Every structure is written in structure tokens, then in C-alpha cells.
Amino acid sequence: MEALMRFCLGLGSLPLLLDAETRSISAENPTGEKGGGAKAEPTPDNPASELGRGWKVRPCITLKSGETVTLADIKGCGIIQHIWITVTEKAYRDCVLRMFWDDEETPSVEVPLGDFFCNGHGLRYEVNALPIVVNPVGGFNCYFPMPFRKRALITVENQRWEDIHGFFYQITYALVPDLPDNIGYFHAQWRRSMTTRERPEHTILDGVKGRGHYVGTFLAWTQLSNGWWGEGEIKFYIDGDTEFPTICGTGTEDYVGGAWGFGGKTYSTAFLGYPFRKADPGEVPRHCLYRFHIFDPIRFRSDLRVTIQALGWYPNGKFQPLTDDIASVAYWYQTEPHAPFPTLPPAKERWSR
């Protein structure tokens, strides 16, 4: 069974032959069943009408306004290995991606679609990280392993006032006989807040109960003051920490592996990135950053809270508390059951423009 965990590792595991079956769900095979792909019959107005059944008849779906669509409902024991999605930018903040493991009542993942794939502010740009990759033009990819013992349910809800056409997706997974007792379940949570001068701090994650490890942060930062905005520290309060954290960073750009205000440059690497900066005339500056703790997960035994400060500089060389608009995604693994998530704000409170 230890060999199963090598699904998550590098090229050295490729020669291993495991007791597993590969399946994949898409609009062409909505259930992922063996031999179940490419069965749709073309209508006369379908591009494949002259070719017939089996020739790209149903490659995508339409997300009806106000409806929740089931992308995957997998029965049995397994691990999701890859998710690919592409859709118009209209869906990025107005559609909500949710994931449920083993018939739980509340989702372990609840994040606006674009933010889950590190595309913040409802905008499209490229990301070249290890677990999240966004390729031209808007090809979302996720390689976070997502294990489940009895069932995996993935849905997307369109909270926009109009239908969204051309939603393409592919979810690839392996069915396995069983999973190790010490395996954690994948979680992701979105939060947004406006920091204040009295307390210039954004909460990335709070209220986590159970044993697990924290594996990533994505930040979509709207800068509402002139000058440098990234002097604040990230803090991890672990296993009963109250006033003071166990892990304390040294600056926002430092946390994502940069230095000295990024020098005006953007970058996207396997674990660390500042892939997006937009400061057009007449607009407030916007930034996107990520840090994936793949080889350095933050481990906790009972509880976890994560915050980040919003600090700049006053002309006299003192730190300036900033009133910035910060949205974030926290990624982590933990034992179930998980604590309830905060209520996700409605679509109009998630818009960035």
C-alpha cells in the first residue's frame, strides 16, 4: 500500500505497477465508466453530424444560470490525480467549485473557480507551478492528489445572471482497493477581507480542527494605497498558539520566495510565484502571489490559524497600516470531519471590477 503513495511523487515511481484502474470523466464520458466515452449521438446542427457517433459530439457543457452541475460523482475508493478545466473569464469569480469526500454534508473545497487555479480578480494569466498550472489561453490544471475512501463528488455552481457556454473539463482518477489509515483529505477555502488601519491583517485560514498539514497559499491583492504594499508578515498559529505564532515570516514578498519588492518583475516557478501585476493608469494596482508548501508542509496536530499583515511605509520610515482588499485561497490536508467553513459571500461581493 505504501507504493500507492508514489502516485504523488516523481519520475522514479513510473515503473511501479500498482493495483489500480485509471478512469477519466469529461463531457464525453460524464460517469467515467469503462468503455463509456464518445457515446453521444450528434444532432443535425452538431459539428460532428457528418461524421457520426464517436467524433467529438459533446466536448463541453453549458452552465445554466443559478444551477449547480455535478462534474464528477465517483463511487468507491480512489484518488483524483488531475483536473483540467477551461471556460470564459466570466466564470472565474461567478462560479463556485466544490468538492465533497465520502458523503460528507459540507464541502471540503469551496472556492471561486478562477481563484482555485490561482487566477485571481476574475482575470486570466499564466501560472507555472507544480500543483497548479494555467496554460495559454486559460487552460486550468490541478495536480493536487485528492484521495477518497467511499465517494468523491465535485460540483460547479453558476451564480451569474446568465448562462455560461463552453465549459470544458476532464477529471482523471485511479480506483484502488484501499488507502492507508494515515492519509489526509484535500481541502481548500476562499476568504476575502478589507484590512483596516486599526488591524491591518487578513485571515487566510481559521477554525481548522484535526490533524493535518498546510500545503499552499494563493493571494489576490488589491492595493488601495500608493507605494509599497508588501511589508507585512505571514503567521502560522499552530496547536493552541494564542497571541504569538509558532511560524512568523519576514515580509509578503519573502513568503513567496522573492526579495526587495520584487524589483518590478513577475515570475512563476514550481513552488513560489508572483505571476501577475496590473497597474494601468486610472486603476488600482492588483497583484497575485502563491506559495506551495510541497516539500515543507506546515504540520499541525489539533488546530491551525493563518494570517497575513498589510503594511507599507510612511514617509518618516515607520510602517504604515494599509486598508487593502485581499482575497485568498488556503490549501491543506487533514483528517475528517472538518470544521464548518465561513459562509461564502455572494457573487457580487466577490467581484473585483
Q: Give the integer Cα–Cα distance in Å for 111 and 132.
A: 14
Decide if 193 contacts 202 (C-beta within 8 A).
Answer: yes
Tens digit of each residue's pLDDT (9 = 90 or more) over 45-97: 999 999 999 999 999 999 999 999 999 999 999 999 999 999 999 999 999 99
Helices and strands, number each (H, E), in the chain: 3, 25
Local structure of 78: helix, strand or coil: strand
CATH 3.40.10.10 fits 185-349, yes or no: no
Q: Give the integer Cα–Cα distance in Å for 2 and 170.
A: 27
User: Counting beta carbons within 10 angstroms of the beta carbon of residue 109, is it exposed (0 to 12), middle (13 to 18) or buried (19 or more)?
Assistant: buried
User: pTM of this prediction?
Assistant: 0.96
From the list 288, 274, 276, 279, the residue with the least C-alpha distance to 328 is 288
Tens digit of each residue's pLDDT (9 = 90 or more) over 305-347: 999 999 999 999 999 999 999 999 999 999 999 999 999 999 9
Domain ranges of the chain: 30-59, 185-349
Q: Give the integer Cα–Cα distance in Å for 151 and 33.
A: 15
> How confident is the prediction for the chain on average, in pLDDT?
95
- Pinpoint the alpha helices (H) of the chain: 91-94, 113-116, 252-255
Tens digit of each residue's pLDDT (9 = 90 or more) over 124-155: 999 999 999 999 999 999 999 999 999 999 99
